[in-house]
Structure 1
Amino acid sequence: MAARRPAAVIGAGIGGLSAALALHQHGWEVTVFERAAALEAVGSGLGVAPNALRALDVLGVGNEVRTMAARQGGGGLRSASGRWLARTDLARIEQAFDDPVAVVPRPSLIGLLADRLPSGVLRTSTPARVVDAGSEEQPARIRTGAGEFEADLVVSADGIHSATRAALFPRHPGPRYSGFTAWRTVVPSPTQPVPFGETWGRGALVGVAPLPDRRLYLYAAALAPAGQTAPDGDERLELLRRFGRWCTPIPELLATATTAVLRNDLYEIAKPLPAYHAGRVALLGDAAHAMTPFLGQGACQAVEDAVVLARARDLASYTAARQPRATDIANRSRRVARAVAVRNRPAVLVRDLGLALTGRLPLTRTAAPLYNWSPPSTDNA
């Protein structure tokens, strides 16, 4: 039996763990280096769309994700006053794409992927950086606190502010601030059903989605200067200040938040990279194509990356397969961000009218470019 070729993965988020599992299944000897002391144990929700569920099927965890997800009722898109702009029929989505949008706790998906890896693969508290991207003749080299490590393949899933990306493409401008900051938290589900979906206001939105165990994933985004935090350090109160006069049940849900409210400025890679690889190093997920979250596709695209990478005949094929799709979805998300960013009252009225008219179109048509994706059927993508 041929020896397994060594592969290193930098970063143990959803994309990195998906890549590690996919490569392990394809015969690689994988080591995952994660700078944090432990995998993400706190966090919020994650929408796993049909395209990502198909990728997770390849990894052998798709059905477990479907099982853990809470079933969603009716919902759609509303204005801040509570007026419905568009209704969403999830049953038709599931019928059209053979899968739902499964909303699960992000830490649960991370744990599920990590548990499928062999013992000893994951090394936490171990920062790693690429010191030589390698070539056809030479392996890549990474450096950790325990010394240097050689690999025939390095997958860098080190996030939006990827040090690997900066090293591979030093002339690229890197990520830029989108203009939005975002909040995420989990709140108890009230006795009365809460409609899922989003509520849009002037330069801001709030979204609600059900989670298992009678909880709700609540997220918000608003235009704000980068680097700010709540004046008193309490982001829950900041959310109430910003959204406390929006339509019910948003103020009531915010008032019940007892878990930590995570706040993050939203960055994106507005200018596509020349490639998603150099030498023997592949960039994956946010490191390759960080996008705004307004289509809920960031993690979904990272899982797609992982499956395609493991099946690609070489890294050039990986870039060719992934760059057009990820760039298109990032552009679509940016267009949604521009619509959310409208603040002038007359312009908001025009925007909401446009959303209402668009809402009359079959959602299956507007969602098709996102959800109509299937993993490559052969190992030569």
Structure 2
Amino acid sequence: MATKFSSSLRHLLRPSPFFASLRPTRRRPEWRFFTPVAGPSENSPRKEEVVVVGAGIAGLATALSLHRIGVRSVVLEQGDSLRTGGISLSLAKNGWRALDVIGVGDELRSQFLQIQGLVMRSEDGRELRSFSFEEEAPGQELRAVERRVLVETLASRLPPNTISFSSRLKSIERQGSEGTLLELDDGSRVLAKIVIACDGVHSPVAKWMGFSEPKYVGHCVFRGLGLYPDGRSFKPKVNYLYGRGMRAGFVPMSSTKVYWFICFNSPSPGPRTSDPYALKKEAFDLVRGWPQELLDVMQKTPEDFVHKTPLADRWLWPGFSPRSWANGVVVIGDAWHPMTPNLGQGACCALEDAVVLVSKLRGVIGGRSKLIDQALREYAQERWARVFPLTIRANLVGSLSQWENPVFCSFRNNILIPRLASLGPLTKHTNFECEPLEPAGSA
């Protein structure tokens, strides 16, 4: 076990290869009610109070949270439309609590099944352990949510012209007390009092602030979405399967969609493959001989609904990592703390970030820079204590789950999971409370 732990640390501390997001090939919807904001005059930049960089989950949740407290923001999105790529993400009760505060929780709940438990099996189908949330983690709320639906729902609640598409950030420069100057690829410039960077794992703003690239952790993951247009009844449970150096799982999202994944060890991310047929075949080759339930879901998956992604994270070591805020600029979500999906907390923490940051800024936006920086400092301190332990824990859970040594795998399958695993402690991190978002001065 010590050897594996040391190996995991070496993976984390060595420089990371290029970590690219895979985009779906299906056509994305056109959001005609969002139009780019007109550029500034040639001699002066456009002035904005709050600029959000990136229209992903964190960026849209932040903009919507600001809207709920009566603050206008502009979201700069480098793409020409919403980034609806990705397959599915897990939202536990902390993510739903944040969505309730933002105001879209119930709309999303109506579209996705609530998961009632967890079944863990070996690759030959033998059941190792099963859990019931109601019995062992009362109050837990877990649903697998289609990323496209989440992004579109958040975007649909924003005022028109909030998102400025085709607005790729070219450079960023501090302008003293006036704010931060953002120059875009098209030559336009924006002078912002507050910049909230939500621009993903390869964030240019995070790089400008001194953060290094996230580090590859030694695993890649296939993700897919099985489609059942005529409907099929699945038990509302997460199904995990454990092998040597590999694990897989599937979970129903609705009566017509089932999400699945395969996580496997790889010394490097390998070449990027865009051929959807080759991706699906590679995924099938990994799990031939595994339980038929998994293979059936994969068979029901269109080729362009299969993605392959290398996993990476960033550990925010105290005293060594750069500050997440500086003079009116702050990074949140994956731009600050990318983590592996082993706890299902990446999107949940991004949503938490949005509501906590906006609650700290409530009442100081439009005020003195010192008050704004104090709010950003308080946000960073509070969130660091939350996300740093989760990042480490997610990484270690992944390392334990990806054991290759047959002795270690036997211990995991016959002792660790059946006799020692407990659901309650494994879900304590989903406890999260935050106050409602209301305009400053409201009762």
User: TM exceeds 0.5?
Assistant: yes
**Amino acid of the residue matched to residue 198 of structure 1?**
Y
Partner of 1:215: 257
> TM-score when scaled to structure 2?
0.78
Q: Quick one: which of 291, 294, 298 aligns to 1:254?
A: 298
**Amino acid of the residue matched to residue 214 of structure 2?**
P
CA shift for structure 1 position 343:
0.2
Partner of 1:329: 390
Q: Over residues 275-314 of structure 1, what are the superposed CA-to-partner deviations in whole Å (9 max), with x where a residue is unaligned?
A: 2212211101111000011111001100000001101151
Q: Quick one: which of 119, 133, 136 aligns to 1:90?
A: 133
2: distance between equivalents of 1:304 and 1:231?
33
Partner of 1:346: 407
In the alignment, structure 2 segments of 5+ residues that lack a partner are: 1-46, 362-374
Q: Over residues 137-184 of structure 1, what are the superposed CA-to-partner deviations in whole Å (9 max), with x where a residue is unaligned?
A: 231111112511011111111111111111111xx4331111111111
Q: Quick one: which of 190, 196, 209 aligns to 2:238?
A: 196
CA shift for structure 1 position 41:
3.6
In the alignment, structure 1 segments of 5+ residues that lack a partner are: none
**Amino acid of the residue matched to residue 142 of structure 1?**
L
Partner of 2:181: 141
Q: Over residues 44-79 of structure 1, what are the superposed CA-to-partner deviations in whole Å (9 max), with x where a residue is unaligned?
A: 122111001111111111111222212435542212
Partner of 2:430: 371
Does the CA-based 8 Å contact 2:121-2:129 persist in structure 1?
yes
Q: Quick one: which of 157, 181, 186 aligns to 2:225?
A: 186
2: distance between equivalents of 1:91 and 1:188?
28
Q: Does 1:56 align with 2:56?
A: no
Q: Over residues 185-239 of structure 1, what are the superposed CA-to-partner deviations in whole Å (9 max), with x where a residue is unaligned?
A: 1102484636532212111111211122511011121111213356976111101
Q: Does 1:277 align with 2:325?
A: yes
**Amino acid of the residue matched to residue 277 of structure 1?**
W
CA shift for structure 1 position 371:
1.1
Cα pair distance change 1:134/1:263, threshold 3 Å: farther
Does the CA-based 8 Å contact 1:134-1:279 persist in structure 2?
no
CA shift for structure 1 position 5:
6.5
Cα pair distance change 1:84/1:330, threshold 3 Å: same
Q: What fraction of aligned residue pairs are identical, expressed as a percent?
A: 27
1: distance between equivalents of 2:289 and 2:203?
38
Does the CA-based 8 Å contact 1:16-1:157 persist in structure 2?
yes
CA shift for structure 1 position 103:
1.6
CA shift for structure 1 position 129:
4.5
Which SS does the other structure have where 1:357 is aligned?
A: helix
Cα pair distance change 1:72/1:367, threshold 3 Å: closer
Q: CA RMSD in A?
A: 2.4
2: distance between equivalents of 1:308 and 1:140?
22
Which SS does the other structure have where 1:185 is aligned?
A: strand
> TM-score when scaled to structure 1?
0.90
1: distance between equivalents of 2:274 and 2:160?
45
Q: Does 1:268 align with 2:313?
A: yes
- Bigger-Rg structure (1/2): 2
Q: Over residues 97-156 of structure 1, what are the superposed CA-to-partner deviations in whole Å (9 max), with x where a residue is unaligned?
A: 3x5112221100000100111000111222124512455x23111111251101111111
Cα pair distance change 1:30/1:93, threshold 3 Å: farther
